[in-house]
């Protein structure tokens, strides 16, 4: 017998290899191949194709020694039939020494090098385990059921290799029955590290008034009754606590807002199942697929039927998710409610709470009862958030289900630590040809978040055996991340904010050479000392040339103008009409006190605390305030979100603007004023504004192409979380023959810039 091992899709440098009867081959598989049932899969595959040998985990992946049988088919099917959560990045076949095997065996894990394999993200509970939870005596209604195909992974692991003794399950010795499953190669729970049952695993406990009131099954039933009776519960899940309540009860949702101090930001909602979700939100096939994926993210979807109005506070999309932990399914089984608010248990701008003591101390005045369990959360992970545009999932927050999966890059990033930014922080470490992004950290600047950032760094250094050699950070000299970078005492490479945004997307898509880059963002330190955020670059990995930007506006009051959009509206009017701006839209001006009108006018006349910004986000803020839909942001990007929510999707009219290397919006402002005076529908005005922004970007890209001849366009920055903007710009540029790239594996917001920082640092270090 002889055969050819073919090159698997997406695997580079895979050579065709001739297989000869009776030879012994070594197959090294790298990628996401631990914690996903890979070794039992290999065993059953070997049995099917009559192959003898061994399979074992090691730090760098999985090693298979194989001989006899149909080796070609065996090797081919490793790629084509891999477990659903596995991700094979490389499969190397080479001759092995003269060994003899009587059977195929799974060997203990090897731990012999500094190399590392990927750590699996947490996986939503599978259907087989849900069936066990309904019918298997020892797991009947047991909220910690799992197998090799599902369950907690990253959230419980201390270090590699991924074995039970190196997870938070080490403190739960297996009972004889679970041990038998764990050791049985034919069993679905063979070497499922979190395997447990009622007799040996974690238990849940309900506390009311800080007193233990029930455990196990009764705790689930009591929790369901409390939720049905309009109570607010803190519920410990996979990666931290949620605050939960009935999503259809306006009174309790408002109470949660009041207690948590969350005035405007929408709440995420967990629907009992897909049918319930489809009753309340409009879903296309791609959104359904994302909701049902093993990552189980929160998916932004259009509202079809209202739950409690306070859930979304006037926005037209809801963050919907489906149950992903066994406990979620048990709770819904005990309730008639179609949906629960399931929001992260944290105070504003602080990290997710992951243990009961902190929950009581930080949030004890928010919830009425706390549902706890005694399995430690080693690594906290929020719920991931995404939205679908043009059939592709776009991440807003990369966390559970995605972290710590790496991004493969085409150059070595070994030893590079990229700090990310100060807002929506997520760092990244470089190992070989992989960038490994950390979890969503939050906004640096307060002590709890900074402490959480350092904790996560330490965890990643330990898990991935990483020692930093060079630190990449944002070029803004006043950023906390910049100061922390210099505190390492290692070489520091500062990277311009929007350059990092664009290079991150370039690296994800393997783009080299000069590319046309469009970065629409809120803020970033500019080379001219001004605040950038509407950048049109001729961009390379190691450098960029700025072609153009939006017209600068003053930010009266400095950073406070980003929190109070009405100030940007005043700036927009003052930019054209000077001190006469209060007379233009009396309905707008009358809501500003005479004192504030006077002070802001004088400040802008004399350029006192009025830094200049061309940030795209500031234009969205200004127009939202003019339309009186958001005068003060109660959460980040509220004004742009409300403006997008208001816009008519069907309309494609736009305003006139002057598109040169500097895009001037004066004609648009005059037309908006006219439309407001003529009492045109606000959704039409919002739509015209969006399509004006689309037109500005497309025209600028066309002009850049004339100069460079380049047809590759990269889009990034927080403003590209606006679905109207992203969809229309992508479609129009594609129709013009451009190749358009936008972030997919990482967020377009600041949560994705660490990868760009890392790549820029490597390129500059090489130079």
Q: Quick one: three-class SS letters along 200-240?
A: CCCCEEEEECCEEEEEHHHHHHHHHHHHHCCCCEEEECCCC
pTM: 0.92
Q: What pLDDT is stored for residue 429 in this prediction?
A: 97
**CA–CA distance, 666 with 658 (Å, rounded to integer):** 8
Structure tokens that stand for 69 in this block:
């049988």
DSSP-based three-state secondary structure for 630: coil
Q: What pLDDT is stored for residue 422 in this prediction?
A: 94
Helices (DSSP H) in 136-272: which residue ranges?
176-183, 216-228, 250-260
What is the Cα Rg of the chain in Å? 27
- Burial readout 425-459 (b: 16 or more C-beta within 10 A, e: otherwise): bbbbbbbebbbbbbbbbbbbeeeebbebbeebbeb
Among 204, 160, 155, CA closest to 61: 160
Residues in the chain, overall count: 767
**CA–CA distance, 502 with 511 (Å, rounded to integer):** 11
DSSP state of 127: H
Q: What pLDDT is stored for residue 518 in this prediction?
A: 98
* Preceding peptide of 179 cis, ω within 30°: no
In the chain (767 residues long), the average pLDDT of successive 10-residue segments reads: 36 42 84 81 92 86 91 92 86 87 84 62 96 96 95 92 90 97 90 94 95 95 98 97 98 95 88 98 97 97 95 94 98 97 89 94 95 97 97 97 94 97 95 94 89 94 93 96 96 97 98 97 92 97 97 95 95 94 90 92 94 97 96 93 90 92 97 96 97 98 97 98 97 98 97 98 87
**CA–CA distance, 612 with 553 (Å, rounded to integer):** 5
Domains of the chain: 2-106 (3.30.70.100), 119-405 (3.90.870.30), 550-741 (3.30.420.40)
Query: Judging by DSSP bridges, how do beta strands 612-613 and 553-554 pair with one another?
Result: antiparallel
Work out the angle between the directed axes of helices 447-463 and 480-487 (0-180°, nearest 10): 50
Structure tokens that stand for 584 in this block:
């233009």
- Burial readout 625-641 (b: 16 or more C-beta within 10 A, e: otherwise): bbbebbbebeebbbbbb
Residue with tokens 């969350």: 262
Q: What pLDDT is stored for residue 766 in this prediction?
A: 78
H or E stretch including 130?
helix 127-135
Q: What pLDDT is stored for residue 7 in this prediction?
A: 38
- Are 338 and 272 within 8 A, CB to CB? yes
Helices (DSSP H) in 564-654: which residue ranges?
565-577, 586-589, 594-605, 616-626, 638-646
């Amino acid at each position: 017998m002889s055969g050819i091992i073919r090159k698997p899709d997406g695997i580079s440098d895979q050579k065709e290899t001739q297989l000869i009867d009776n030879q012994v081959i070594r197959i090294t598989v790298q990628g996401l191949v631990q914690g996903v049932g890979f070794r039992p899969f290999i065993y059953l595959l070997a049995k099917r194709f009559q192959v003898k040998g061994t399979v074992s985990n090691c730090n760098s992946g999985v090693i298979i020694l194989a001989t006899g049988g149909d080796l070609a088919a065996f090797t081919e099917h490793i790629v084509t039939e891999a477990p659903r959560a596995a991700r094979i990045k490389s499969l190397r076949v080479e001759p092995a020494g003269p060994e003899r095997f009587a059977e195929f065996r799974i060997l203990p894990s090897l731990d012999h090098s500094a190399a590392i394999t990927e750590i699996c993200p947490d996986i939503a509970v599978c259907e087989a385990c849900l069936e066990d939870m309904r019918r298997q005596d020892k797991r009947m209604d047991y909220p910690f059921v799992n197998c090799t195909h599902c369950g907690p992974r990253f959230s419980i692991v201390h270090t590699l290799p991924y074995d039970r003794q190196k997870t938070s399950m080490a403190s739960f010795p297996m009972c004889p029955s679970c041990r038998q499953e764990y050791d049985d190669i034919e069993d679905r729970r063979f070497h499922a590290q979190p395997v447990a049952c009622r007799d040996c695993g974690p238990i849940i406990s309900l506390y009311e008034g800080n007193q233990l009131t029930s455990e196990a099954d009764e705790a689930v039933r009591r929790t369901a009754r409390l939720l049905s009776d309009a109570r607010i519960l803190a519920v410990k899940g996979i990666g931290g606590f949620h605050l939960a309540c009935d999503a259809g009860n306006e009174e309790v949702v408002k109470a949660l807002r009041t207690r948590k101090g969350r005035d405007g930001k929408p709440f995420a909602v967990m629907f009992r199942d897909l049918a319930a979700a489809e009753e309340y939100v409009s879903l296309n096939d791609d959104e359904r697929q994302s909701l049902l994926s093993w990552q189980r993210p929160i998916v932004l979807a259009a509202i079809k039927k209202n739950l409690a109005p306070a859930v979304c506070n006037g926005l037209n999309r809801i963050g919907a998710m489906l149950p992903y932990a066994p406990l979620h399914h048990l709770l819904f089984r005990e309730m008639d409610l179609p949906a629960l608010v399931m929001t992260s248990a944290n105070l504003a701008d602080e990290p997710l709470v992951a243990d009961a003591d902190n929950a009581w101390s930080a949030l004890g005045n928010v919830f009425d009862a706390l549902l706890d369990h005694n399995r430690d959360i080693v690594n906290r992970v929020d719920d991931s958030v995404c939205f679908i545009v043009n059939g592709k999932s776009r991440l807003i927050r990369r966390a559970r289900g995605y972290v710590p999966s790496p991004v493969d890059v085409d150059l070595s990033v070994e030893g590079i630590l990229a700090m990310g930014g100060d807002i929506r922080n997520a760092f990244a470490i470089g190992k070989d040809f992989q960038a490994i992004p950390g979890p969503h950290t939050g906004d640096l600047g307060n002590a709890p978040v900074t402490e959480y950032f350092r904790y996560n760094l330490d965890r990643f250094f330990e898990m991935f055996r990483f020692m930093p050699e060079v630190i990449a950070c944002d070029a803004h000299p006043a950023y906390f991340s910049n100061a922390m970078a210099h505190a390492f005492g290692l070489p520091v490479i500062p990277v311009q904010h929007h350059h990092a945004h664009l290079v991150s997307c370039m690296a994800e898509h393997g783009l080299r050479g000069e590319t046309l880059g469009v970065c629409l963002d809120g803020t970033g330190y500019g080379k001219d000392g001004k605040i950038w955020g509407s950048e049109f670059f001729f961009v390379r990995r190691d450098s960029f040339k700025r072609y153009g930007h939006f017209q600068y506006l003053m930010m009266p009051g400095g950073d406070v103008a980003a929190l109070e959009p009405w100030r940007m509206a005043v700036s927009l009017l003052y930019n054209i009409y000077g001190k006469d701006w209060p007379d233009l839209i009396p309905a707008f001006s009358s809501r500003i006190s005479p004192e504030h009108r006077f002070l802001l006018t004088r400040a802008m006349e004399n350029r006192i605390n009025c830094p200049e910004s061309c940030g795209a986000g500031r234009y969205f803020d200004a127009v939202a305030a003019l339309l009186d839909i958001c005068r003060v942001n109660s959460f980040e990007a509220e004004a742009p979100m409300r403006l997008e929510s208001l816009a008519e999707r069907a309309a494609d009219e736009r305003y006139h603007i002057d598109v040169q290397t500097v895009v001037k919006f004066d004609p648009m402002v005059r037309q908006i004023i006219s439309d407001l005076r003529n009492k045109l529908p606000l959704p039409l005005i919002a739509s015209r504004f969006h399509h004006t922004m689309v037109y500005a970007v497309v025209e600028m890209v066309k002009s850049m192409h004339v100069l460079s001849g380049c047809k590759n366009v990269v889009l990034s920055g927080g403003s590209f979380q606006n679905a109207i903007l992203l969809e229309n710009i992508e479609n129009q540029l594609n129709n013009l023959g451009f190749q358009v790239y936008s972030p997919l594996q990482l967020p377009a917001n600041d949560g994705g810039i660490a990868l760009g920082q890392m790549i820029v640092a490597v390129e500059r270090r090489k130079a």
